[in-house]
């Protein structure tokens, strides 16, 4: 279970970003953080639309983080939903001096971990041998799907903490300090986890590029 | 892909994009948001049942239980807690002769023959 601690600067984290979107940085994240606080205040006052905006804003990020833990997209969506509803229940406990994103992601990560423990979900589906090599040259979509499958398999081979660290850092754009807050581990450990995860995933990416040529 | 550096402070855009593509939900986000909001509405409905309605739903059973408890308590008190009245005269009255009265009112411990005689008298 991840800690009940929060990290530093805010993190909208590209809630509705597409596949190629970059992690948000600097001022955009801080501005969004201020908006988040307003939406949280309205949600606490019973404004359903405000909570809906928060859900829209963080839906994709929450689903990706949950999927990084669970592997299975349906389970991940269930966990993300649990996370949002749990956050709603705990909204009065949210410290508005701190950024909303890491607080929410911590709850979503906990919900995903709980679900994984309860259902003993496998981390990733084994790769179809037909996809690994040989066969006709696939089109662009199939290539992307193949890479995605490989990355998911590789992610599944990492420890949950390492997987979460690299996804929160390289995909969602959180700082090491924020991830330390979300995962409840020292910042140095986060750096180490990100480094080891990257080394594994970069090797896989490089191999895949070599094969794709 | 950029060179791997231990403890790199900067996100890796290429790896990040690849991971994002791998983890990105394939379906429409709107469906997920609608699903969460539907759960939100249900949770809200459950948590806002008026208190008076709850109290009203318990009114009749509560009254019946209170009446039943009163009746049971009254009967219990009357039959168990109140001892049967008995006068000292009735207890002391000899059936025949002075045997029992002499035994109870004596200052000194009774002699065994007196006790025996009293028992014989009562028969």
Q: Distance (Å) from the C-alpha of residue B18 to the closest C-alpha of chain A?
A: 7
Contact status, residue B22 vs residue A147, Cβ threshold 8 Å = yes
pLDDT of residue B119: 63
Residue spans of alpha helices (H) in chain A: 26-44, 48-70, 73-89, 100-119, 129-132, 140-157, 160-166, 176-183, 187-212
| CA proximity to A158, closest of A120, A195, A211 | A195
Task: Report how far residue A86's alpha carbon sits from residue A93's, in angstroms, rounded to the nearest whole number.
Answer: 11
Give burial (CB, 10 Å; 0-12/13-18/19+) of A1: exposed
Residue of A nearest to B11 (CA): A170
Does B2 touch chain A if contact means CB atoms closer than 8 Å?
Answer: no
Q: Please give the Cα distance from A22 to B17 (Å, whole number).
A: 7
Residue B29: list chain A partners with CB under 8 A: 16, 56, 59-60
Interface of A with B in 63-102 (CB under 8 A): 63-64, 67-68, 73, 76-77, 80-81, 84-85, 88
Task: Assess contact for A177 and A29: CB atoms under 8 A.
Answer: no
The pLDDT value given to residue B110: 64
Residue whose C-alpha is closest to residue A112's, from B58, B68, B23: B23
Residue B84: pLDDT band (50, 70, 90) is low
Q: What CA–CA distance (Å, rounded) separates A168 from A64?
A: 9
| Each residue's pLDDT tens digit, A133-190 | 444 454 666 666 778 888 888 888 899 999 999 999 999 999 999 999 999 999 999 9
- List pLDDT tens digits, range B25-82: 888 889 999 999 999 888 877 766 555 566 677 788 888 899 999 999 888 888 877 6
What confidence category does residue A8 fall into, taking pLDDT thresholds of 50, 70 and 90? very low
**Inter-chain CB proximity A151 and B22 less than 8 Å:** yes
Per-residue DSSP letter, B25: -
**Distance to chain B for A97, nearest Cα, Å:** 25
Q: Is B24 close to A18, i.e. CB distance below 8 A?
A: yes
B44 and A48 within 8 Å at the Cβ level: the answer is: yes
Higher pLDDT pick, A159 / B94: A159
Q: Which of A64, A85, A149 minimises the CB distance to B20?
A: A64
CB B11, CB A170: distance < 8 Å = yes
Are A64 and B13 within 8 A, CB to CB? no
**Half-sphere exposure for A101 (CA within 13 Å, toward CB):** 30
Question: A198 vs B44: CB contact, 8 Å cut-off?
Answer: no
- Sort out which chain A residues have CB atoms less than 8 A from B28's CB and list them: none
pLDDT value, residue A12: 37
Question: Which has more pLDDT, B123 or A145?
Answer: A145
Cβ of B38 under 8 Å from any chain A Cβ? no
Give every CB contact of residue A166 below 8 A, 6+ residues apart in sequence.
A158, A193, A194, A197, A198, A201, B15, B19
pLDDT at position B35: 94
Q: pLDDT by residue (tens digit) across A52-77?
A: 999 999 999 999 999 999 988 999 99
How high is the pLDDT of residue B58? 76
Average pLDDT over residues A195-199: 93
B46 touching A, CB under 8 A? no
Q: What is the ipTM of this complex?
A: 0.73
For residue B121, CA distances in Å to B8, B94, B99, B107 come to 113, 9, 7, 21
A-B CB pairs within 8 A amount to: 127
Q: Are A66 and A105 in contact (CB under 8 A)?
A: no
């Amino acid at each position: 279970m991840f800690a009940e601690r929060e990290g530093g600067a805010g993190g909208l984290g590209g809630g509705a970003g597409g596949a190629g979107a970059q992690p948000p940085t600097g001022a955009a994240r801080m501005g969004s953080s201020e908006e988040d606080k307003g939406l949280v205040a309205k949600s606490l006052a019973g404004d359903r639309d405000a909570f809906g905006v928060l859900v829209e804003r963080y839906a994709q990020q929450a689903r990706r983080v949950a999927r990084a833990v669970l592997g299975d997209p349906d389970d991940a969506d269930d966990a993300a939903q649990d996370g949002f509803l749990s956050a709603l229940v705990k909204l009065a406990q949210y410290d508005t001096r701190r950024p909303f994103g890491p607080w929410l992601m911590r709850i979503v990560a906990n919900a995903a971990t709980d679900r994984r423990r309860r259902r003993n979900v496998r981390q990733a589906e084994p790769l179809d041998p037909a996809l690994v090599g040989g066969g006709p040259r696939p089109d662009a979509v199939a290539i992307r799907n193949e890479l995605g499958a490989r990355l998911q398999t590789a992610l599944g081979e990492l420890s949950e903490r390492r997987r979460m660290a690299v996804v929160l850092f390289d995909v969602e754009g959180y700082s090491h300090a924020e991830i330390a807050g979300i995962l409840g581990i020292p910042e140095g450990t986060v750096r180490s986890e990100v480094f080891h995860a990257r080394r594994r995933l970069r090797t896989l990416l490089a191999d895949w590029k070599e094969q794709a040529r | 892909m950029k060179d791997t550096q231990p403890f790199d402070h900067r996100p890796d855009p290429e790896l990040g994009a690849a991971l994002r593509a791998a983890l990105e939900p394939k379906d429409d986000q709107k469906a997920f948001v609608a699903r969460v909001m539907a759960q939100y509405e249900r949770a809200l409905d459950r948590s806002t049942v008026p208190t008076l309605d709850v109290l009203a739903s318990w009114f009749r059973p509560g009254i019946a239980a209170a009446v039943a408890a009163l009746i049971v308590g009254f009967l219990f008190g009357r039959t168990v807690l109140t001892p049967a009245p008995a006068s000292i005269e009735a207890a002391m009255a000899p059936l025949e002769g002075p045997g029992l009265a002499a035994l109870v009112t004596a200052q000194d411990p009774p002699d065994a023959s007196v006790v025996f005689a009293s028992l014989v008298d009562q028969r």
